Structure 1
Amino acid sequence: MNRAGLVAALALGAGVSVAVGVYAGVHTPAERPLFTLGFSGMLQMKAWLTTAAAVLLVVQLVTALGMWGRLPGARRSRAALALTHRYSGTAAFVLTLPVAVHCLWSLGFAATSPRVVVHGLAGSLFYGAFATKMLGLRLRRLPGWTLPVLGGTVLALLVLIWLTSALWFFTRPGVPRT
């Protein structure tokens, strides 16, 4: 077992989480968007991109289950599942980047409500968990549970981010959704 590699990956992931959180806490928010990618506002952009990333993480979950032999008939298409898993994960991660930039640069860390605090912590932890998972993919001789736990952590954190941001946004009355 590669304990040193796993500890190093976890330490680096923790460092990423702390760095993101510290930056969010010490940076003075600009309180304006850098760009909106054609959406009517920054919150609309963030909500829809996060929703798209969350949908792609459902694809990640299904393809991971197939690659690990947990879906009937999936063994025959393992290469296609692996390719779909890789590219849907890449797309989901890329979709989170404009959201994170605006969370950090435009809004910063706030403690205005429990929802906002949980959202900020989950966002910081998400990038650390993602870094840990990416490093874990490169390490040899990890325990069999490692990658599913790391992937599940990334998925759970993005779901928590979605619940505390996009779902909250979409259920607010009187706010334009696009």
Structure 2
Amino acid sequence: MSDTRITPVQHRQPNTVAPFLVPLVVGGLVAVGLGVYGRVHAPTGYAIGLAGFSGALAMKAWLTTGAFLLALVQLFSALVMWGRIKLDVPWIGSLHRWSGRVAFILTIPVALHCLYALGTQFDVPRVMIHSLLGCFFYGVFTAKMLSLPRRGLPGWTLPVLGGLTFVALTGLWLTSSFWFFTTIGVKL
């Protein structure tokens, strides 16, 4: 007698980037759209500020610093969630989601001020890099958020998009907050 057990056929998702195209295209459109808007919009020069800060630059420096510190929490919690750091904390997913939400919210007044009052600028290298990183940050963040609910994506998708988001925010912090604190000083 032969063994006639029926084994289920394993269907593997092809390792393709096709499901990734929509988030990537939409993220690219967001980045380009912000850059174009920032370039063609005539900067008003008027500061958008929040109460409690001495000025718009101080507000931007502190909010970006808060977002950057939360991005460090994001990096740590992602390393735990992906098993790169061995910790058994059942709330790590919630920490990751909420630190990301708050970090993103902190960037909104900064981005609004940059786009509305200053626009995209290319005359000073630091400011040009900052402008390009700002557009890239929102584009890659959009691609990451749109990729979260999608099935069939390659396993590297979220770590790469999360890493690029972290790198962009780090670059934004270095070209704005770090510059502000080391050039103008630590002010509220």
TM-score (norm 2): 0.89
Divergent runs of 4+, >4 A: none
1:112, 1:40 → 2: CA distance? Answer: 26
Match of 2:155 in 1: 144
1:55 to 2:65 alignment? no
Mean Cα displacement is larger for which, 84-93 or 1-10? 1-10
| 1:106 corresponding residue in structure 2 | 117
Q: CA deviation at 1:35?
A: 2.6
Q: How much does 1:44 deviate?
A: 0.3
Identity %: 49
Match of 2:79 in 1: 65
| Cα drift, residue 83 of structure 1 | 0.3
Q: Which of the pair has more CA radius of gyration?
A: 2
Task: Report how many residues are paired.
Answer: 174
Larger helix proportion, structure 1 or 2?
A: 1
**What secondary structure does 1:165 align onto?**
helix
Whole-Å separation in 2 of the counterparts to 1:122 and 1:143: 25
In 1, Cα distance between equivalents of 2:42 and 2:113: 12
Q: Does structure 1 retain, via aligned residues, the 8 Å contact 2:49–2:59?
A: no
Q: 2:20 maps to what in 1?
A: 6
Q: CA deviation at 1:32?
A: 1.4
The answer to whether the 8 Å contact 2:71/2:103 transfers is yes
Q: Deviations over 1:54-82 (max 9, x none)?
A: 0000000000000001112x2x32x4110
Match of 1:28 among 42, 48, 51: 42
CA distance in 2, matches of 1:7, 1:152: 18
Where structure 1 has 5 or more consecutive residues not aligned to the other structure, the ranges are none
2:55 match: 41
The answer to whether the Cα contact below 8 Å between 2:48 and 2:109 also exists between their aligned partners in 1 is no
Whole-angstrom distance in 1 between the partners of 2:154 and 2:48: 43
The TM-score, its normalising length taken from structure 1, stands at 0.94
Q: Deviations over 1:1-56 (max 9, x none)?
A: 46322011100000000000001001111111133332010000000000000000
CA distance in structure 2 between the partners assigned to 1:176 and 1:88 by the alignment: 24
SS in 1 for 2:44: coil
One-letter amino acid of the counterpart of residue 156, structure 2: W
Please give the root-mean-square deviation of Cα atoms over the aligned residues, in Å: 1.2
